[in-house]
Amino acid sequence: MPVQSIELLLDDPTEEWIRSEWRMLTAAHLPGLRETARPHVTLTVAQEIWPRIDQQLRRVPFTPFPVRIGPLAMFTRRRSDTGVLVRIVVPSAELLALQSAIHQEVSSCPGQPAHTRPGEWTPHITLARRFPLTSFAVAAEQLSTAQFSGRAVAVRHWDGVNRKDWLISEG
């Protein structure tokens, strides 16, 4: 099911750091995201986010703030031999407050998964989808164990149906 999402965009050095991890996965012949993807932190998703909601989202205060990209992790499902390879984004007061405010504005839209609710949401940056669980150790060997400090610089609306995006706010 195609979805729409509200996403936090990162500064250029942080985007490049994530892209370098995608390249390392590719060099190790492991699944990773395409270079054409843009690194981001998904704040909330819905089956459809109505245009009037964008106007409400523009009223949510946003100023750039520091983000810390943390350890490697896997999100898995039962009865699956693949998962989503991610970097955890260390929650900060600014990040949690923004996610909560964004989720509140989008709460009337249809098709919101429970894991995007404040208190149940895990901030992360996706490195690979359909990643073999048996390859996690190899990925951990290939990717940096260092954490990375960067900045959140903008909020965008991603329309997965039409494969378009537009800025909601930027600092």
Label the pairing between strands 82-90 and 124-132.
antiparallel
- What is the model's pTM? 0.93
What letter does residue 14 receive in the DSSP assignment?
H
pLDDT in tens, 21-67: 999 999 989 888 776 689 999 999 999 999 999 999 999 999 999 99
pLDDT tens by residue, 99-139:
999 999 999 999 999 999 999 999 999 999 889 999 999 99
